[in-house]
Amino acid sequence: MRDYRKRFSVDPEVKLRLDAVDTGYCDKHASEAAAKTEIERYLRRLTDLQLRLYASRRYAVLVVLQALDAGGKDGTVDHVMSAFNPQGATVTGFKVPTPIEAAHDFLWRVHPHAPAKGEIAIFNRSHYEDVLVTRVHGAIDARECARRYEAIRDFERQLVRAKTVVLKFFLHISKAEQLERFGERLDDPARNWKISESDYTERERWDDYVKAYQDALRATSTKHAPWYVIPADHKWFRNLAVSQILAATLGELDMRYPEPSVDLADIRRRYHEAARAE
């Protein structure tokens, strides 16, 4: 099984340059059709692994999805996370803080949505908005941003100590691809509702967001809670890479089905007796 973890992980010891990442990278695959079999294999693997996670109740999993506008967060939830049974998976989106949330520390609203053992939580945007949007718009200065990086590292370390697997994906698209996707939203009535004024006002801050992401990813990518920069111009390759990294990471966990709580021999005897009586 191909392992994209090393290729796409962010090394905090190496300066990150997002403009040097090929957002159109798709490895050996020439098309979505060529990758379809591999994607489906990873999704089947994830379905099995989630069942083991849910049954064993030894670990929790947190998946963080971040991207610039139109980067594919919703699409990743729709396609990759479709492998998960909703009974053991949740999706939480973090938008502009409410007045009550803003009156607390920036992590206050996040912790209640962290997964319990046996569960998978997906954050569609996350606590990282508070070192990205806030920084780009000047709501926090460099010193406060550094303090928040430290708080995030501590928060994620705490989750890992409680046996939560933390995987963070930055879905990286090009500026040209973003504009094309904005155009697709205009042409698709089912997606018109996604259009907002901020699509274009925030686009003017593209370079500022790239710089903010570079700094945040490098400052908060750790061995226990790594960041992965996923080339995402091709939606199908994004799905392939994210599903492969998830499957490889969860596959390394010690997740065994628990022993039955009943006497199976007795249950089999009673089953056969009931079957013969029918």
Is residue 37 packed enough to be buried (19+ CB in 10 Å), middle (13-18) or exposed (0-12)? exposed
Q: What is the pLDDT of residues 98-115, one digit of tens each?
A: 999 999 999 999 999 999
pLDDT at 273 over 70: yes
Residue 1's pLDDT band (cuts 50, 70, 90): low
Looking at residue 98, the DSSP 8-state letter turns out to be P
State percent of the chain over pLDDT 90.
Answer: 83
Mean pLDDT of 68-89: 94
Distance CA 218, CA 16 (A): 7
The C-alpha angle 74, 80, 84, rounded to 5 degrees, equals 110
Q: What is the pLDDT of residues 202-219, one digit of tens each?
A: 999 999 999 999 999 999
pLDDT at 269 over 70: yes
Q: For all residues of the chain together, what is the average pLDDT?
A: 94
Strand pairing class (164-172; 60-67): parallel
pLDDT at 32 over 70: yes
3 state DSSP class of 171: strand
pLDDT at residue 123, rounded to an integer:
98
pLDDT at 176 over 80: yes
Mean pLDDT of 82-105: 95
Q: List the domain boundaries for the chain.
A: 5-277
Distance CA 270, CA 272 (A): 5
Instruction: Judge contact between 77 and 65, C-beta under 8 A.
Output: yes
Size (the chain), residues: 278
Distance CA 66, CA 205 (A): 17
Distance CA 137, CA 211 (A): 13
Is residue 5 packed enough to be buried (19+ CB in 10 Å), middle (13-18) or exposed (0-12)? middle
Between residues 122 and 188, the one the model is more confident about: 122
Distance CA 57, CA 61 (A): 11
Distance CA 194, CA 121 (A): 23
In our burial notation (b when 16+ CB lie closer than 10 A, e otherwise), range 189-205 reads eeeeeeeeeebeebbee
Mean pLDDT of 46-58: 97
Is 5-277 in CATH node 3.40.50.720? no
- Helix 206-220 / helix 142-161 crossing angle, nearest 10 deg: 40
Distances (CA, A) of 272 to 2, 92, 259, 260, 277: 46, 46, 22, 19, 9
pLDDT at residue 264, rounded to an integer:
86
Mean pLDDT of 131-141: 97
State percent of the chain over pLDDT 70.
Answer: 100
Instruction: Give this prediction's pTM.
Output: 0.94
Instruction: For 89, list phi and psi in degrees, rounded to 5.
Output: -140, 140
Scanning the structure block, which residue is given the tokens 């973890």? 5
pLDDT at residue 214, rounded to an integer:
98
Q: What is the pLDDT of residues 187-203, one digit of tens each?
A: 888 788 887 777 788 99
